[in-house]
Amino acid sequence: ATVVKIATISPLSGSNSNLGLQIKNGAQLAVNEMKAEFAKAGMTLSLVAYDDQADPATGTAAARRAGADKAVLGVVGTLNSGVVIPASAAMAPSHLTFVSPANTNEKVTDRGLKNMNRICARDDAQGPAGADFVMDNLKAKKVYVLNDKTPYGQGLAEQAEKQMKEKGASIVQSEGVAAEERDFTAIITKIQALKPEAIYFGGLYGQVGPFAKQLRDKGINTPIIGGDGFDSDDLTKLAGSGANNIYFTTVAPPVDAVPAAKNAAAAFQKTFGSEIQGFGVMGYDSAKVLLQGILNAYKLNKNKVPTRTQVETAVRSGTFKNLTTGEVKFDKNGDRMTAKMYVIAVKDGNRSTAGTVNVIRK
């Protein structure tokens, strides 16, 4: 049997490793699931996991390593847009397909690379969706916008801000705070003085949690809205008593909303000893897309192991079903044509779905 591999590239060490491991383990789960099917087709399927440390240079090097391994037919990854942009560009000439579970920055697909696809929503879908929610559902007119100075947080906040401005909100301040910062004394002082009606935070749960806690501790109950970066159970744990009045947009369905997700969640818990979270679900789906793409290419290649170029084409042109997040089909740039976006609300430490938005690209 021929060895066929897919790779994951995500941060497995460093402070983002929690999410990176989710992606890796989600993909591993998909590989475990589809091993048999591949074996039937005479292919021994396995996964190689590369650590990008959330660093573009390391990530590019990892992509090159994956590229050098001829058995690797595609990559699930990465977590950070900053990493995937150079890594996918480096791999474009060798047609190594990326299916991204998490990279939301517009540039990821706007460059028109043949090998770059994603199943998550774009910042310019998420940002406006969040903005709409702020203005239509929360009815806030004065908004404070914060971002974590990462490609993700900044890009997302910009999109949200643009939309809110267009809809006539007043942005009392839009600024950044380093992603590693956990002390929000200054920011909170500012919020106290500016008295916004809502706070849009382009950042990750690891930072938002403590922020919410510190904010609520000072008795400020202003709603906080963000994107898929909030999507982790740990958000509520980190925020503790402050886990209230927080909303975020995500493509990953709440585990209990989709039956398929429940099975995956159970398997995940069994295999890796921890709960599946949003990015685990996305990693799982991305891997499935990639693996189904490989199988499609295999068939087109007269039941022989396909080339990378064939996989590239198959992924871009295929329609993929049986996923937790619904059907996936890519447009010409590798963006998902239709997706359902959820707005999740956190109230008193509990998550619930506050609404859904259908994202459709033409």
What residue ranges bind ligand LEU (CB under 6 A)? 19, 79-81, 102-105, 151-152, 204, 228-229
Distance CA 40, CA 57 (A): 38
CA distances from 188 to 197, 199, 211 (A): 14, 11, 9
Largest Cα separation within the chain, whole Å, is 68
207 binds, among ligand LEU, another protein, none (CB under 5 to 8 A by kind): none
Considering only 26, 210, 227, 334, the residue that binds another protein (CB under 8 A) is 210
229 binds, among ligand LEU, another protein, none (CB under 5 to 8 A by kind): ligand LEU
67 binds, among another protein, ligand LEU, none (CB under 5 to 8 A by kind): another protein
Minimum CB–partner distance for residue 19 and ligand LEU (Å) = 5
Residue among 201 and 320 whose Cβ is closer to ligand LEU: 201
Residue 255 makes contact with another protein by CB under 8 A: no
Q: Which two tokens stand for residue 193?
A: 């003085």
Minimum CB–partner distance for residue 112 and ligand LEU (Å) = 18
∠ CA 139-143-148, nearest 5°, is 130
Distance CA 68, CA 93 (A): 12
Check the CA dihedral 157-159-164-168 and report its sign.
positive
Residue 249: cis peptide before it, omega within 30 degrees of 0: no
224 binds, among another protein, ligand LEU, none (CB under 5 to 8 A by kind): none
Residue 355 makes contact with another protein by CB under 8 A: no
Residue among 206 and 306 whose Cβ is closer to another protein: 206
- Write each residue from 315 to 354 as x if it is in contact with another protein (CB under 8 A), else as -, in one continuous string: ----------------------------------------
**Residue 175 forms beta bridges with which residues?**
146
- The H-assigned helical ranges of 135-256 are 151-166, 185-194, 205-217, 234-239
By rule CB under 8 A, what count of residues binds another protein?
85
* Residues in region 63-82 near another protein by CB under 8 A: 64-65, 67-71, 82
Considering only 4, 6, 9, 12, the residue that binds another protein (CB under 8 A) is 12
The conformational region for residue 77 under phi > 0 = left, psi -120 to 50 = alpha, else beta, is: left
Minimum CB–partner distance for residue 324 and ligand LEU (Å) = 18
- Of 14, 10, 56, 15, nearest in space to 204 by CA: 15
3 state SS of 290: helix
Residue among 103 and 310 whose Cβ is closer to ligand LEU: 103
Q: Which two tokens stand for residue 92?
A: 């474009």
- Write each residue from 29 to 58 as x if it is in contact with another protein (CB under 8 A), else as -, in one continuous string: --xx-------------xxxxxx--xxxxx
204 binds, among ligand LEU, another protein, none (CB under 5 to 8 A by kind): ligand LEU
Distance CA 271, CA 248 (A): 28
